[in-house]
Amino acid sequence: MKRLIILLFPALAAAVALQAQVPTNPALARSMDSIFKRDQLYRQLLYAIDTNQVLKDSIARAARIPAQRDRVVEYLVNEMAIIDSANLRFIDSIIKKQGYPGKTVLGAQKAFIPWLIIHHADPDVLAAYMPVFKEAVDKGEMLFANYAYSLDRMLVGQGKEQRYGSQVAEGVMKKTGKKMKFIWPLEEPARVNERRKTAGIDGTIEEYARLHGFEYQVVKLGDFRMEEE
């Protein structure tokens, strides 16, 4: 598995900033609560086990697997994939029946959830939904920032340069042989902060890198190799 680091829910803060709006489908909006909880459950556990030995051991006992980190991670990733697949099928069924459920249908506070479920799909699956996302943005049903995050993820999955700098990776620099975190290569790096501002993404690329624990530097495709786990 390539070590590509992707945020759990990068647009939550932006979603909260939207003005309150009564959903036209309250029942569907309420169903998003459980969808979101399921989406986040195993992702939160994956983050937590590195600093919580008791939690890791508890998960291992419950799953009846050895308590080694790799085995627990494998178990959590597999469980997460099952939930992700079920959530995606649910959201896809809604889209096929009534179109993309955005701000009007779900209200501003929950409009990000269908996007998040699709965003967590494999990049090749995500690519199929990008026209749907673009239409939702054009209609004011989705934040441009959400679209930008997904566009970056799709491009990175295709081995291309990203546009907004949302995707962080970890790899080995060919010149130094050192493993390091870095912002995945950018299209026109000098203009990335301009693009981020236009998209409504908070912070500069330099601030974003520091948020992830490293200093920003321009990295080009071909400067690094990704390690297989």
Q: Are 121 and 58 in the same domain?
A: yes
C-alpha to C-alpha distances, 65 to 1, 60, 76, 80, nearest whole angstrom: 21, 5, 11, 17
For residues 156 and 225, give the distance between their C-alpha atoms in angstroms, rounded to a whole number: 14
In tens, the pLDDT along 37-64 reads: 999 999 999 999 999 999 999 999 999 9
For residue 66, give its domain range: 19-142
Q: Are 119 and 59 in the same domain?
A: yes
Q: Are 126 and 220 in the same domain?
A: no
Task: Mark which of 142, 169, 185 sits at the end of a domain.
Answer: 142
In tens, the pLDDT along 139-167 reads: 999 999 999 999 999 999 999 999 999 99
Q: Are 124 and 166 in the same domain?
A: no
The confidence band for 228, taking pLDDT boundaries of 50, 70 and 90, is low
Task: Mark which of 111, 142, 173 sits at the end of a domain.
Answer: 142
Residue with the bigger pLDDT between 2 and 108: it is 108
Count the domains in the chain: 2
Residue 164 phi/psi, 5-degree rounding, is -110, -5
Residue 91 in this model has a pLDDT that exceeds 90? yes
Task: Mark which of 82, 109, 142 sits at the end of a domain.
Answer: 142
pTM across the whole model = 0.87
In tens, the pLDDT along 7-19 reads: 455 445 444 444 4
Q: Are 98 and 196 in the same domain?
A: no
Q: What's the length of the chain?
A: 229
